[in-house]
């Protein structure tokens, strides 16, 4: 199976909504004529299987210890990748970056079985300006993790790649939105 082509097909069928004028409000507050709801795919067994395989195959040769990002968008992506890595006998541990440090117990902001010095990838469903990805990367660095790069299922091509590179991280989008919109 060509996982990339199958994922593209699923995104176009389920996740991509297009209008003639800007009617979709993005988390940034900006209005857009298209919207990507990748949770319709990342929270689906078939979608998770495809995404997990795609990302595992992208990163396996770099021997990362972990894969994760800011909750909620990154969670199903990192879990799917971890599951596929285990099946392939090259386990990569998932981790979750909380938006704020935990208000009780140990007060951790990162959950998972990773430790200082581990080499990790930050994952994200959609990157617009890369605010969420960069927040996750900042927390990961503050916790002593080595960031190998940031992976997005879709880059909206609205400055995210430039912002990521400005912070010194490699960026690996699976798709650019222009490819999905046929531009």
Answer yes or no: is 98 a known binding residue: yes
Answer yes or no: is 119 a known binding residue: no
Answer yes or no: is 129 a known binding residue: yes
Answer yes or no: is 32 a known binding residue: no
Answer yes or no: is 102 a known binding residue: yes
Which DSSP category does 20 fall into? Answer: S
3-state secondary structure of 130: coil
Answer yes or no: is 136 a known binding residue: no
Answer yes or no: is 127 a known binding residue: yes
Work out the angle at residue 75's Cα, subtended by the Cα atoms of residues 60 and 159, and round it to the nearest 5 degrees: 80
Interatomic CA distance for residues 140 and 163, integer angstroms: 17
Answer yes or no: is 104 a known binding residue: yes
Interatomic CA distance for residues 92 and 89, integer angstroms: 9
Q: Which residues contact 79 (CB under 8 A, 6 or more apart)?
A: 48, 94
Answer yes or no: is 131 a known binding residue: yes
Answer yes or no: is 130 a known binding residue: yes
3-state secondary structure of 154: strand
Answer yes or no: is 39 a known binding residue: no
Answer yes or no: is 139 a known binding residue: no
* Residues of the binding site for orotate: 128, 156
* Residues of the binding site: 98-99, 102, 104, 124-132, 156
* Residues of the binding site for 5-phospho-alpha-D-ribose 1-diphosphate: 98-99, 102, 104, 124-132
């Amino acid at each position: 199976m060509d996982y990339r082509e199958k994922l593209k097909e699923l995104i176009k069928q389920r996740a991509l909504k297009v209008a003639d004028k800007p009617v979709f409000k993005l988390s940034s507050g900006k209005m857009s004529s298209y919207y990507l709801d990748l949770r319709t795919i990342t929270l689906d067994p078939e979608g998770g299987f495809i995404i997990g395989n795609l990302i595992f195959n992208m990163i396996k040769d770099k021997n990362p210890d972990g894969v994760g990002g800011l909750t909620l968008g990154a969670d199903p992506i990192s879990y799917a990748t971890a599951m596929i890595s285990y099946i392939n006998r090259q386990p990569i541990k998932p981790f979750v970056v909380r938006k704020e440090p935990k208000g009780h117990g140990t007060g951790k902001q990162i959950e998972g079985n990773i430790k200082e010095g581990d080499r990790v990838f930050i994952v994200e469903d959609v990157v617009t300006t890369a605010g969420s990805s960069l927040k996750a990367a900042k927390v990961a660095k503050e916790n002593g993790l080595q960031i190998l790069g940031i992976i997005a299922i879709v880059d909206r091509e609205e400055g995210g790649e430039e912002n990521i590179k400005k912070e010194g991280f490699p960026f690996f989008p699976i798709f650019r939105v222009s490819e999905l919109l046929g531009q």
